Amino acid sequence: MAAISAGKSSVTARAPGKINLHFGVGPLGDDGYHDVASVYQAVTLYEDVTAAASSEFSVTVTGPAATPDIPLDSSNLAVRAARLLAEHADVAGGAELTVHKNVPVAGGMGGGSADAAAALLACDRLWHTNLGKAELAELAATLGADVPFALLGGTAVGTGHGDKLTPALGRGRYHWVLATSETGLSTPRVYGELDRQRSGSGPAADPSIPDVIMHALRLGESGLLAASVHNDLQQAATALEPRLEEVLHVGEKAGALAGLVSGSGPTIAFLVPHAEQALDLALILAASGAVDGVHRVTSPAAGARILRPHDGHPAGTGSSYA
């Protein structure tokens, strides 16, 4: 393919964070990875990535969830995504990326994956490579298991390493309160703790999706969904970060239908019946001193999309409490 020269404009794309309504983890494979069976749902907490034409690749990170720990070199997932697309489509030039972060770093919500998905979509439009989401999803899968879902959004079942996605039928809108921590949890460390906990109980079963959670999603019933959410990594995450148990206790005592660690944590997602209960719970959690931040969000949310110039920040980023 002939090289494609980048124009002088800029493009902003938005991609959602996620929670895992179900996360089953299989045994450690010979490749060093675990097969999983996950039900993803995108939430209304977003990452925005602006791509501007440049001769090189660079990234700047802003926003309420920006931290000094985020790499600003070629290891940054948004930069890796832009470079991957440039190599795939033979693009001449680079991109200056600006990431506006709302999703907690290392919080189990796929914030870095959302950055990558938004970068792919923004650069595809900036460079007029016109790959479309199907081809972008193939590239996304090489960057990480959660990146294809950030492109897709909505609700989906993930198998394999989590990147083999099947959109799931569902009804209704769900109200969540997310309790976040300024201290992230390392995903490999949480998986390692899970393996340690399982070491004396024989090989783990192959993961699968229970029928009960798919039935709850088809009916759109918050109560049924609350009774069926599950995360195999939760016990490992709470062992590594014991204060998560306190947060779960506060939320459930305050009337949440269910509380679960999102992915590898430490973010905890509390399901509530209505927006009014979400506000009440958010205030209780914020006043408890047990959490560093609180967000009210809904799900499912749309996948990655191009923002129009007037969309801007911080539209659609949920309601937050420090």
Annotated binding residue 112: yes
Contact predicate 47/313, CB 8 Å: no
- The single residue of 18, 48, 115, 124 carrying the catalytic annotation is 18
Q: Is 108 one of the annotated binding-site residues?
A: yes
Distance CA 179, CA 318 (A): 13
109 belongs to an annotated ligand binding site: yes
Is 132 marked as binding a ligand? no
Marked catalytic residue, from 48, 115, 124, 146: 146
Please report where in the chains the tokens 């439009």 appear, as a residue: 125
9 annotated as ligand-binding: no
Q: According to the annotation, is 1 in a ligand binding site? A: no
7 labelled ligand-binding: no
Does 157 count as an annotated binding residue?
no
- The CA–CA distances, whole Å, from 73 to 48, 60, 110, 243, 304 equal 18, 10, 19, 33, 23
Catalytic residue status for 133 = no
153 annotated to bind ligand: no
Whether 170 has a binding-site annotation, put simply, is no
Phi, psi at 165, each rounded to 5°: -105, 140
Q: Are strands 174-180 and 293-299 parallel, antiparallel or unpaired?
A: antiparallel
What's the length of the chain? Answer: 322
Known catalytic residue at 101: no
Residue 107 annotated as binding? yes
Task: Please give the annotated binding residues, written as ranges.
Answer: 104-114
List, by residue number, the catalytic residues.
18, 146
Task: Please give the annotated binding residues for ATP, written as ranges.
Answer: 104-114
